[in-house]
Amino acid sequence: MMDTKVQSVSGSEAFWGDVKPTPGQLDLVNKSPTLVSQIHEGDRRVATGENLPMAVKGDIPGDPDGKYDLQKRQLQFPPRLFGGDNDMALSTFAHEMGHLIYAPQDRAFKQKYVANVNPRDPGVYNATAMWPVRAEGEAEYNRWKVGSEIERNTATPGHPGTSINSDDPTMNAIASANANRPAGLTDKQNENRLIRTGMNSMATSGSHGADGTYDSYTRRITGAAPTEPGKMVSANYAGDDTTGDITSASQHWESGDVSTQNYKDGKLQSTRTVDPAGKPLQTSSYTYAPNGSYSVTVKNGNGRTIQQSNFNADRSGVERGFNPDGSRLETQFNGQNHTTQMTQYDSRGHETQKDRFDPGSGLDISQLVTHPDGSKTLYWFNARSSVGEQGDYDASGKPVATYEFDDSGRVASITRFNADGSRTVNTVGTNGTGTQVTVDKQGNRSAVQHVTYDQATQQSYDARSRLAATIAPPQPVGSHDALGGQTNYYDPANNRLTKQIVTNPDGSKTLKSFTDKNTLGTEVQYGPDGKPVSSTSYDPDSGLVNQRINYAADGSREDIRIHHDDHTISTTRYNAAGQITQTRTKAGDSEKIENYDPQSGRVITVETVSDVDGSRTVSSSNAYGHEGARETYDRTGRQTSSVRYRPDEGTGTLTYMTRNTDGSQQVDKIDRNRHAFYSVDRAGRVHDRRSIPLSTEDAGALAQWKAGWSTQR
């Protein structure tokens, strides 16, 4: 029985805002004491300004069924949700209501587990992931609880109650865990336990973004790479049932490797990734200071230290990466996560390269390379982060030469410093000519000489231009120690992941590129033979697919484009020669299919299929490239009617045929003079032939078919 002490919901509460639930939906709402109480709580929060009333929005990118907007603190739903199926509406509402109700706890969880993790912490990815995964686990727990109450309170003797939830893995997992509730647990302890069960499921089955909840949200927040690529096979979160704290988390990856993180009071204590046999691949340990700073030491599977980082309370810090040959890279960054300096040392501790960055913008300023003989080369970067100037110095620090590069990266001028204190300045044009001026040590300039550079000199300048184009800061600490067959590339200025190459066990590869918003931009799949299999591009905001190209082994391809603004899908198929063979346009409840002659580019047939009744219409072109026939079929494939224009019959005829359910046909045939009528029985015999003069309408139809609608691209 429903708890009658809870005041029922009328649907007129301020919390509902733009949402107008139906009487049937309100009846189900009032069968759940939990949901009723939550709506009253939402009403209270609206009154205090903590939350906004619910809103109906026509377009909710990334969450088409509804969402809880964290910034506005508002539930948002599309118009169709509460105007459609009651079960779908209530199930979605209960999930999103969970986000709203648990939002204060989520903010506290984020502050405790995520806020103090440095963005360059090697454990930041999995630590940050717990926040969105926990939020989804809470929302799913709420959906399960509300659904259970509705089903229980709508049941009658001999008749099961109304089920608003589908038979999905998360609902089944929570229900199973609740059925096996340990004795002695309070309701709150069991709630925390069931939320962790929801987390376990949602870490692998969440549908947000291109790669699921875990990866999509976490990469967007951190810009970091996952411990291993690909969706997790399973996850497990262990914790304290009384406090709701997470004490450990583990992820089982597609490779068979398992990663585990241990927490105490919201802080990472250690991490460990092992292979399927349990052999360590990488471990890390943490040390915390009372002032809010902390350090991390990362070791590989052999126990060698590969990274050591010190993070300050203001989020600035130093990272050190150690290579097998004894060389190391040291990176300094400020509290805004902008790199300020990267220094490389050889195995003897001698500096070999130093890159400096603008502390405000994070853009690279210069790179100083120290050569084995003690000489140095200094590169200065322009606003485009390419080399604008190069200076060479001998071991004593005296300048040898400077080079200036134009906007295209070409050597534009060279200054050589001579032993007598003079210097020679050459300009280099695009046509192999230039000028030369000598300046003595007193600053006196010689007359300008016009020079023509020989082929060898021009080639040396071109080589220097090509070399300058390759100059860039090194990849950050830890980028070369990735697991799971991934090779990651970062923006050294802010440690943001920009590209990822995953090599699979069969030799196939996946190339991913990421946007400035840390969302997946493109994804290209290559087979073991190196040939492309597919290419996908994504919307940078919603994470939804914009375009996907599938490549066949014979060289043909299929180009699918999704237009989210008008909800249409267009598909174009090409043969190996790049010629169009078919287009398909899916819009609303119908799909239009055009088949082409690849040689001429002319449409052969046009087929329109209805999703409503399964009927289809097929149009065929004639020899002139115009529509010559149109046929309709029902969902069983039975022809129901046809229209055919015959330009070679007299001066042109137009024939309409309607096929009856008994197999007989009704035929109308029009030529330039008459409109004939007759029927044909199922045996093919003609009956009731008659004709009338051509009407104005008949003449217009004949003329239109004769002129034709061009179907040629």
Question: Long-range contact list for 416-420, CB < 8 A, 24+ apart?
Answer: none
pLDDT (0 to 100) of residue 3: 46
Confidence check: pLDDT of 358 > 70: yes
Q: List CB contacts of 105: < 8 A, sequence separation 6 or more.
A: 138, 244
On average, the pLDDT of the chain sits at 92
Region 495-524: what's the mean pLDDT? 93
Nearest to 461 by CA among 453, 450, 472: 453
pLDDT (0 to 100) of residue 94: 97
Query: What is the percent of the chain with per-residue pLDDT over 70, rounded to a whole number?
Result: 97
Q: How many helices (H) and strands (E) does the chain have?
A: 11, 40
CATH architecture of 486-708: Beta Barrel (2.40)
Q: List CB contacts of 389: < 8 A, sequence separation 6 or more.
A: 379, 380, 402, 403, 404, 405
Options 3.40.50.1220, 3.20.20.70, 3.20.20.60, 3.90.930.1; which CATH number does 363-470 get? 3.90.930.1
Confidence of residue 220 (pLDDT cuts 50, 70, 90): confident
38 residue type, one letter: Q
Region 273-295: what's the mean pLDDT? 98
Angle value at C-alpha 303, between 302 and 307, nearest 5 degrees:
115
pLDDT (0 to 100) of residue 712: 37
pLDDT (0 to 100) of residue 563: 92
Determine phi and psi for 201, rounding to 5 degrees: -75, -45
Region 175-180: what's the mean pLDDT? 97
Q: Domain extents for the chain? A: 14-227, 363-470, 486-708
Confidence of residue 614 (pLDDT cuts 50, 70, 90): confident
Distance of CA 667 to the CA centre of its chain: 55
Distance CA 639, CA 621 (A): 18
CA distances from 555 to 533, 549, 551, 572, 575 (A): 10, 12, 7, 14, 7
Distance CA 492, CA 692 (A): 84
* Among the ranges given (200-204, 282-286, 366-370, 462-466), the one the predictor scored with the smallest mean pLDDT: 200-204
Confidence of residue 709 (pLDDT cuts 50, 70, 90): low
Asked if residue 203 lies in contact with residue 214, where contact means CB atoms within 8 angstroms, the answer is yes
Q: List CB contacts of 578: < 8 A, sequence separation 6 or more.
A: none
* 24 sits in which H/E element: helix 23-29
Confidence check: pLDDT of 607 > 70: yes
Distance CA 20, CA 81 (A): 10
Confidence check: pLDDT of 644 > 70: yes
Region 360-375: what's the mean pLDDT? 93
Neighbours of 184 (CB within 10 A): 6
β-bridge pairing 433-439 and 423-428: antiparallel
Q: List CB contacts of 434: < 8 A, sequence separation 6 or more.
A: 426, 427, 428, 450, 451, 453
Nearest to 310 by CA among 297, 301, 300: 297
Confidence check: pLDDT of 387 > 50: yes
* 141 sits in which H/E element: helix 124-154
Confidence check: pLDDT of 608 > 90: no
Distance CA 122, CA 114 (A): 13
Confidence check: pLDDT of 2 > 50: no
Residues facing 548 on adjacent strands? 536, 560
pTM above threshold 0.85: no
Region 387-397: what's the mean pLDDT? 97
pLDDT (0 to 100) of residue 85: 86
Q: What is the DSSP letter of 626?
A: B
Confidence of residue 710 (pLDDT cuts 50, 70, 90): very low
pLDDT (0 to 100) of residue 1: 39
Region 265-285: what's the mean pLDDT? 98
Nearest to 493 by CA among 372, 617, 355, 587: 355
Domains 363-470 and 486-708 share a fold: no
Residues facing 608 on adjacent strands? 592, 617
Region 337-347: what's the mean pLDDT? 96
Region 558-562: what's the mean pLDDT? 96
